[in-house]
Structure 1
Amino acid sequence: MLIDAHCHLDFPDFDADREAVFERAKAEGVRHFLVPGTTRKRWPEVLALGERDDVDVCLGLHPYFIDEHRDADLEALEEALDTNPGVVAVGECGIDGRFEESWDAQWHTFDAQLRIAKARQLPVVIHCVQANDKVAKRLRQLELPAGGLIHAFAGSPEQARKFLDLGFVLGLGGAVTFDRAKRLHRAVKSLPDDGYVLETDSPDMPLAGHQGERNESANVAQVCRVVAEVREQSPEQVAADSTATARRLFQLLV
């Protein structure tokens, strides 16, 4: 069994064939899906997907959409978490270092979500681009009891260890399938068996050879095979380990 630990199946990209996307994933052995929130206006679609037996959801405010977020959305997030106890994590939240002009606003929104997660003892799902060291420093200061997921990790073995030591696991997806990702491959090889989950970030982050195409949860199976090759393990072991880690992190009943 495989779990896609991070996929935006609520996005309009899937409106025309969402059920077929689920079926193609299941044909590849993907049995469960974690769908994070990105903006307040999309939370209803995320929560609707969470009504499915094969989907669990997170709610958060994504840094890429920082211009859409308001402080009132943080208050709404607290209310949504309190009224939807089935939500398994806060996120997707974080820092995107590519947009320096909005760093102050990003940090304000991110820090507030970290505190919300800490107060509720929920894990956090973190988007961390060109900010691994800064984010690790902040997580060390806050000491989040439930840890979380560093989504789409693409850093070094040393950065991976920092996050692991803080009680976080790393999300491995399309980036690992590129031959040029040598540093990431070294990090992936260094991880303990319980230090990672598999993900797609669908519809984004396509795999090597599929640039420009819509990504789908079925591609977790290929990510699994590549991770197994990098780690010199069997795909069956990687599937079992990553699934067990996702279950533990998000307290999934699957």
Structure 2
Amino acid sequence: MISIAVSSQKGGVGKTTLSINLAHSFARAGVRTLLVDADPQGSVGLSLTRQSRLLTGFYDYLADPGIPLDRLVVPTRLETFSLVASGQASDYETGGGGVGAHLARVRGFLRSAAARGFDLCIIDTAAGLFGISGDVIASSDAVMIPQQAEPLGIRSAPKLLEGLNRLRVMNPRLRVLGVCLTMVQKELAESTEAAAALRQLLPPEMVFQTQIPRDGLFVRASARGLPVGVLEDGAGAQIVFDSLRAEVEAKLESKGGNPPTR
């Protein structure tokens, strides 16, 4: 199983939108995909199932690793796509003990997911590189960073990449797949200029070519509890995430690993 953490320095950058729709794209392609909500706010669960607050989930497992994975996994209408909500214990003290305090339990969770036959696990983390988010990244095979196309956020991207490199001490095999520009507004000069500035700031291989636009479709999809590609007029958005999926597969392969099998 390949595990990919989706991480950002701050909230509100489209991290959950990217996680949901990238996971759905992989599942549509036949990859047995598990999407894990490791953000205590429960954004994935709230976007896809209104009962998410009642579900046993990831943070419950961290509190009690004796909980079997079968109690956590929520199937969807797509046979290859399953979820794990953040859980009843999502107010768990995420910063307690610093990075490394929950490392063994996070790794145990991922081993259980692999043993259950999943090909890919995408984990939507809380913002920041500390606490359980740091432990998730330090347990994953790869990490990708969504970054909103706006001037202030772009300047913080190199610092986040430096922080990820420090986590490689705990996880030498961690592959930093790169930064994905989100909420891009082509009609707004400041947004396109910020996107161009990031591409100048970082090496080309560290920025995904695919950009996620700011689109009201994502709000509508969340309101209906669906990935955007399932909407009647979601075909264009689905193409964007299929393109991103192809880039992720190519990056995993080029970094000496294997893309998720189908």
TM-score of the aligned structures, taking structure 1 as reference length: 0.43
Q: Whose relative contact order is higher, 1 or 2, with alpha carbons under 8 Å and at least 6 apart?
A: 2
Larger helix share, 1 or 2: 1
What TM-score results when the alignment is normalised by the length of structure 2? Answer: 0.42
